[in-house]
Amino acid sequence: MHDFQVWLVTTIGGRSAIADVMRTAWAWPLAESLHFLGLCLLIGGVGSFDLRLLGIGRRIPIAAMHRFIPCGLLGFAINIATGTLFILTEPDQYIYNPSFHFKLLFMTIGGLNAATFYLTSYRRVFAPDAPLDAPRRAKVIAAISLCAWIGVITGGRLLTFYRPSACEGKQIALLLTCAP
């Protein structure tokens, strides 16, 4: 993994037309603002659907509530796009950052968890005669989803406090968390 991280950082290198634009005065703050807006859309779309599965707004048909998911997906897409811009500009600040590793871990959990929902619960929850109360499995998935996205926000917000320094003399674990 260490070699892969170093390879990623050297390959991206922060040298591209995009990185040059991102280093202008307004591009980075603007991309950050979009990243925060995307966060709100993600929670507003996916988080409110999770809350509905957990029993808030029980009289709203779950299938109807699911129509908010595209709003969450839009937020997610905005954040993948703007997040990619940050990494392309300052790759070492993310690839070697333990907070970013946790952020990716929580994103993976959120993604696999969502896939589990569509594979195991979709049909039962969305059947025309489905009860208004979601089955227990769907509720567990919804709770995991909320925790995962809160974890993603936490990992993102703490990035700046775990900026990687030089590796000299540090013990290196599974992933590089310092700049070699």
Partner 1 sequence: MIDPFLAWVESTWLSQWVVGSPSMFAFPGILTLHAIGMGFAVGISAAIDLRILGMAPGVPLGELRRFLPILWAGFWLNAVSGVLLLIGYPTKALTNPVFYLKLTLIGAAMVLLVRISRRVFDENVASTRSGGSLDPPAEITSTLRKLAIASLVCWTGAITAGRLLAYTYHRLTQLH
Residues that bind partner 1 (CB under 8 A): 29, 32-33, 36-37, 39-45, 47-48, 51, 56-61, 63-65, 67-68, 70-71, 149-150, 153-154, 156-158, 161
Nearer to partner 1, 37 or 175 (CB): 37
Nearer to partner 1, 5 or 113 (CB): 113
Residue 114 C-beta: closest distance to partner 1, Å: 17
Residue 146 C-beta: closest distance to partner 1, Å: 10
- HEC profile for the chain? CHHHHHHHHHHHCCCCHHHHHHCCCCHHHHHHHHHHHHHHHHHHHHHHHHHHHCCCCCCCCHHHHHHHHHHHHHHHHHHHHHHHHHHHHCHHHHHCCHHHHHHHHHHHHHHHHHHHHHHHCHHHHHCCCCCCCCCHHHHHHHHHHHHHHHHHHHHHHHHHHHCCCECCCCCCCCCCCCEC
Residue 162 C-beta: closest distance to partner 1, Å: 9
Nearer to partner 1, 12 or 39 (CB): 39
Nearer to partner 1, 47 or 164 (CB): 47
Residue type at 28 in one-letter notation: W
Residue 35 C-beta: closest distance to partner 1, Å: 8
Nearer to partner 1, 13 or 57 (CB): 57
Residue 46 C-beta: closest distance to partner 1, Å: 9
